[in-house]
Amino acid sequence: MELKLMMEKLGAPQTHLGLKSMIKEVDEDFDGKLSFREFLLIFHKAAAGELQEDSGLMALAKLSEINVALEGVKGAKNFFEAKVQALSSASKFEAELKAEQDERKREEEERRLRQAAFQELKANFST
C-alpha cells in the first residue's frame, strides 16, 4: 500500500498487479515486501541498465533524477532545491522528536531528584 501511495504521489500510479511485479523484480528475500536495501536496489539496477524501460521500477527510478540537458540548469536547480527542502523538513521533524525526548529525560531527572530530596527530608523528620 505504501508503494502504491508513493507511486501515485510521484505521478506514476500503478495497478495492483503492476505493484506486485515491481516488488517481485527486486524482492531478494521473497517476503513480498520491499526492505530498504531492496528499495535501493531499484536505483542500482536502473543505473546498471537492468530494468525494462516500460517497468514501474524504471518509472520510479526516473522520477527521482533529472536530466540537466533536457530540463536546463534552472530546472535542475528547482529539482534539487525541492529535494533539499524535503530532506530538511525530515531533519526538522527528527530534531523535534529529539528535543521532545530530551525534554522528557530532563523532566524525569528532575522528578527523580525531587523524590530523592523528599526522601532525605522524610528521613530527617522520622528520626
pTM of the model: 0.43
pLDDT at 109 over 90: yes
Provide the 3-class DSSP secondary structure of residue 25.
Answer: helix
Q: What is the pLDDT of residues 26-53, one digit of tens each?
A: 888 888 888 878 877 877 787 777 877 7
94-107 burial, b at 16+ Cβ within 10 Å, e below that, comes to eeeeeeeeeeeeee
Residue 1: enclosing H or E segment and its boundaries?
none
Closest to 19 measured CA to CA, from 41, 40, 2, 38: 2
pLDDT of residue 102: 92
User: In the chain, pLDDT over 90 holds for what percent of residues?
Assistant: 17
Rounded to whole angstroms, the Cα distance separating 10 from 56 reads 12
